[in-house]
Structure 1
Amino acid sequence: METAQGERIEIEFEARRCIHSRFCVTGAPQVFLANVKGPWIHPDAMPVERLVEVAHACPSGAIRYRRKDGAPEEPVPPVNLAGVREAGPYAFRGQLEIDGAPAGFRATLCRCGASTTKPFCDGSHSKIGFSATGEPPSGKTDMLPTRDGVLAIDPQPNGPLRVRGNLEIMSGTGRVVARVTSAYLCRCGGSGNKPFCDGTHSKIGFKSD
């Protein structure tokens, strides 16, 4: 974990979660300096409220912050969401617990099976030519009585992601795919019923903690 201190805010960067979506270096290029040697995060280089907005746009949660000026910290998302990215990862937003530990409010988790930093995405889907739609068909979409709360995500040994909690699964274009309180999501890349697990991980010998 890297930290950079500013007068009013501390920025944290967790490299293993970064998927290089580039919201930081394009939204705040004076703060996040790409391809430089030495310190590359300069929190005081732009107004803090704008910097907070850029941090919130980071889908992976690699960029987080701590306010030093008494202003509110990042708010808990009002609705737990999992976006299914075209040929890419799951993009979660919510009060996340991953493998039993608090994991912030944003995370991108591997669904191609090839990441070297599982359960997080590391961009391997591009390297292996992973192909999977971001527009799966809609299933059960009845409105949930509660849409927030803790969302527990537990990678099963050599198997799927077990998700427990209120969750709206969204397509890449924002369409509701399903609303669930419990689900098993494919992370081996082989399910014929993506984003849900269909047991293919056992047939193809998927291995992961």
Structure 2
Amino acid sequence: MKNTKKEYSNGEVTVVYDSAICIHAGTCFKGLPTVFQPGTRPWIKMQGADTESIIKQVQKCPSRALSFYMNTPEEDEADKGPIKALETGKKVEVMTNGPLMVEGPITLVRSDGKREVMEDACYFCRCGASKNKPFCDGTHNDIGFKE
């Protein structure tokens, strides 16, 4: 099977492009044309913007054909101590013996296709017993849900 993924890095962040799932919406190059330049090779010019701008634009990719990961320090830098976690946008937290907390604002797409903007943090059921799915209603406490 052909590898459809290519990686582009500026040293701090690496952008991963998966051509197999790209829907060519144009969100990338319309939003950050100094970095995303279809028709040129390489088409992603990582020196065209700062790391934060690149990350913000990649997060807007509707198909998720664009993704990213933060590069870790070189081995000699890593020996100086633990690598600090890099916050890269919204936070998703698994609550101990409880729900999944997702920081807002987010767009919730329901199983029927209905879209709803959630401005604040959302708590999603993990135990399966909520009477208000997909949201947590605290039922996990009543049924003794444990991870």
TM-score with structure 1 setting the length: 0.38
Distance 1:135 1:82 in 2: 6
Give a deviation string over 1:14-38, Cα, whole Å, max 9, x none: 11221122111111111111122x3
8 Å contact 1:25–1:32 — kept in the other structure?
Answer: yes
Q: Which residue of 2 aligns with 1:33?
A: 37
The Cα RMSD (Å) is: 3.4
The structure number with the bigger radius of gyration is 2
| Secondary structure of 1:73's aligned partner | coil
**1:82 pairs with 2:109:** yes
Q: Name the structure with the higher strand share.
A: 1
| Secondary structure of 1:35's aligned partner | coil
Q: Which residue of 2 aligns with 1:146?
A: 123
Runs of 4+, deviation exceeding 3 Å: 73-77
Q: Which runs of 5+ in 1 are unaligned?
A: 85-89, 91-133, 137-144, 150-163, 167-178, 182-209
**1:17 pairs with 2:17:** no
From 36, 41, 45, give the equivalent of 1:42: 45
Matched residue count: 97
8 Å contact 2:124–2:133 — kept in the other structure?
Answer: no
Q: Which runs of 5+ in 2 are unaligned?
A: 73-83, 93-101, 116-121, 135-147
Q: 1:148 to 1:27 in 2, by over 3 A?
A: farther
**1:2 pairs with 2:6:** yes
Deviation at 1:5, TM superposition (A): 1.5
Q: 1:21 to 1:148 in 2, by over 3 A?
A: farther
TM-score with structure 2 setting the length: 0.52
Distance 1:148 1:64 in 2: 27
